[in-house]
Amino acid sequence: NAGVTQTPKFQVLKTGQSMTLQCAQDMNHEYMSWYRQDPGMGLRLIHYSVGAGITDQGEVPNGYNVSRSTTEDFPLRLLSAAPSQTSVYFCASSPTVDRGNQPQHFGDGTRLSIL
Amino acid sequence: GNSVTQMEGPVTLSEEAFLTINCTYTATGYPSLFWYVQYPGEGLQLLLKATKADDKGSNKGFEATYRKETTSFHLEKGSVQVSDSAVYFCALSEHGNNRLAFGKGNQVVVIP
């Protein structure tokens, strides 16, 4: 029972490089989302998806792209990394878009450093 | 918009002490409220939740009551253990969507 799997766990990039953070869930959850966690800031929503083929912006979407071609996968792309994107990134999923009552399941995070 | 405010600063206390972490919220409508816990090097785990006014969520000795009149959802535990050392986040989601708004979190350190 893997739950939400994020890869890689750690990554160091140079400014201007691109990369994709992977997120996969095996629970057939409709809803998936990406958050970033910064010291003293809590978690902030980057992008989310309510189902395959549907994505939308969260609180801090600039500099990030997402797509949702399958129910299982929700990758996060950084097209041109900036030092301000140094953070810990969490992917989360929940069973349904159900009045917001469903708790979300989180992956273990990707720690990303931009030099 | 929606927002969650947690008390400032880390919390350090001795084993078997009483723990309270304050959480207040601002929301339109009637949100669901959650407490998540993050142990070192791990992702967030749901600790407890409440979906309507006066509901009490409880788990592992932790409790929180949804107080609509004071827009609060304070977390309490009567006797903490060293294993409770973690970061605790209060969060809310609106009815009709699953987007979570988080507080800044509180680091709890329990000393033997």
How many CB atoms are located within 10 Å of the residue A70 CB? 10
Letter string b/e over residues A76-95, b meaning 16 or more CB atoms within 10 A of that residue's CB:
bebeebeeebbbbbbbbbbb
- High-pLDDT (> 70) share of chain B, %: 99
CA dist B107 and B88 (Å) reads 7
pLDDT above 60 for A106: yes
- Sorted by sequence, the CB contacts under 8 Å of residue B72 that are 6+ apart come out as B22, B23, B24, B25
Per-residue model confidence as pLDDT tens digits over A15-68:
999 999 999 999 999 999 999 999 888 899 999 999 999 999 999 999 999 999
Q: Kind of pairing, strands A19-25 and A31-38?
A: unpaired
Q: Kind of pairing, strands B3-6 and B23-26?
A: antiparallel
Angle at A41 between CA B30 and CA B88, to 5 degrees: 65
Contacts of B101 in chain A (CB under 8 A): 45
pLDDT above 70 for A1: no
pLDDT above 80 for A115: yes
User: What is the DSSP code (8-state) at residue A104?
Assistant: P
Pairs across A and B, CB distance < 8 A: 70
Token duo for residue A80: 């041109």
Q: Between B31, B34, B98, which is nearest A97 by CB?
A: B98
CB within 8 Å: A101 and B32: yes
CB within 8 Å: B98 and A58: no
CA dist B58 and B79 (Å) reads 14
CA dist A26 and A42 (Å) reads 26
Q: What is the pLDDT of residue A98?
A: 63
Is residue A36 within 8 Å of A88, Cβ to Cβ? yes
Q: Supply the DSSP string of B36-71, one letter for each residue.
A: EEE-TTS-EEEEEEE-STT-EEEETTEEEE-BTTTT
Average pLDDT over residues B48-56: 93
CB within 8 Å: B99 and A101: no
CA A65 to chain centre: 10
